[in-house]
Structure 1
Amino acid sequence: MLKILQARLQQGHRTIRYPDGPAPAVPDRLRGAPAIDADKCAGTRRDGCRLCAETCPTGAISFADGQRGGPRLDLGRCLFCGECAAACPAGALAFTQEHRLATRRREDLVLGPGRTSVRLAEALEPRLLGLFGRSLKLRQVSAGGCNACEADVNVLGTVGWDLGRFSIQFVAAPRHADGLLITGPVTRNMRLALEKTYEAVPEPKIVIAVGACAISGGPYLGHAQACDGATGLLPVDLFIPGCPPHPLTILDGLLRLLGRVA
């Protein structure tokens, strides 16, 4: 017993202090919010360059106004693979280490002319915030995912993150839940299961889509055996983009939804 206590004292404080303290350091290879230099892009597009759009595997990048308009980047489709940044000859597109990406509306994930940054998620409406703000129980549904998003969601339950200290917990039964946290593109085989799980959650309830697959279908967008995510099937209250999103991105989105982060 004394050895256990001694080891615990040597380990010190192991849980991140976010959001009260500074955000923990993220790895150098993390691809967070993208940044687009419109001037560099405009100079390159005089020669008809569309390499970023042609390289994107999910069609997340487009030019809505031909070659004259600026690039339009849909973070709900983006896999954060970095292929677009590598293909751009002018270096007009780069990924930063900004982890805050969650939004309340699907359209807020679209960057382009006039919008260079994500409109971060706002808190729930007062009535829902009064119900869920101090205690939120979620049923996680893996709707055909590859387990990458699921793994990063599970990280939040470890001692380093301790999601339970925010009174946010995952439960086994939808009837005990306040809402769903969905990962995966919602395959045809999982659609009915997802819809029944949603129906089993008592009203009022919320839905959170985590990852590009759950938001838009990700790399399976348009596949005959996938439903292009949960967005077209259920009313989604929080969108957390990424492939997969960093645990800090997921945590920040959840806390913003509950009004814990300004």
Structure 2
Amino acid sequence: MTILDGKALSLKIKNEIKEEVAKLKKEKNIVPGLAVILVGNDPASHTYVKMKAKACKEVGIYSITHEMPESISQDEIIETILMMNKNPNIDGILVQLPLPNHIDTTKILEVIDPKKDVDGFHPYNFGRLNQGLDSFVPCTPLGVMELLKEYKIDVKGKDACVVGASNIVGKPMAALLLNEFATVDICHIFTKDLKAHTKNADILVVGVGKPNLITEDMVKDGAIVIDIGINKLENGKIVGDVDFENVSKKASFITPVPGGVGPMTIAMLLKNTLKAAKNR
């Protein structure tokens, strides 16, 4: 069993990005810029945004966070996004999700200029991804593909099962695997017999936010297991959606939580921001 070390790979990628950012500044006098919109007081969101800002600083990307109160109106958020769409020094715009209930998330994401949509959530980019065209790809699934590539895992012809069908992770993950010619099975909350789908998968990707959802009996011998879930237990321990201790005995490759997919997500955000700056 091999651990897919996202922490080590993300450091390697960050170093490459740092060099490219310096080169871009020197040759074209362009400093990549990322703007983040943070609404409300969700502690997890605040933690993520701090981590993103820190990562930007480490590689030389300029970042700014627009903190907004929970009570802010949808129109005010849209106004801020439109202002950033026009700002030539901002290459990437990111809206930290989830947004408060009175805000229409879809509408907000659609206002972002697709050329600055470094999260890859705009329908324009999502459509291009599904057609196998160049686009901004959501950072978590993109990070998973980078991990597979780093460990020379070829997905072509493999049976892949994606558990979770969100627009942010599950659907783009399935599209990326399909684009690389895997045979893809997608499961979700209404899937009748989850085990019937997971136990035949060569590659199993799980991201639903349910601790220990995937147990040893649901995984075939030698499977490649990617755990995107991140859950905090009552005792404060951070775990994924996979029963790591027992599933790791059967898997050929597996991601740990923490230290697997998480660090890759932020590395891919930096990569997408650099890409947007180069397109400038």
TM-score band by shorter chain is 0.3 to 0.5
Normalised by the length of structure 2, the TM-score is 0.35
Normalised by the length of structure 1, the TM-score is 0.37
Between structure 1 and structure 2, the one with the greater Rg is 1
Tell me which protein shows more helix as a share of its residues: 2
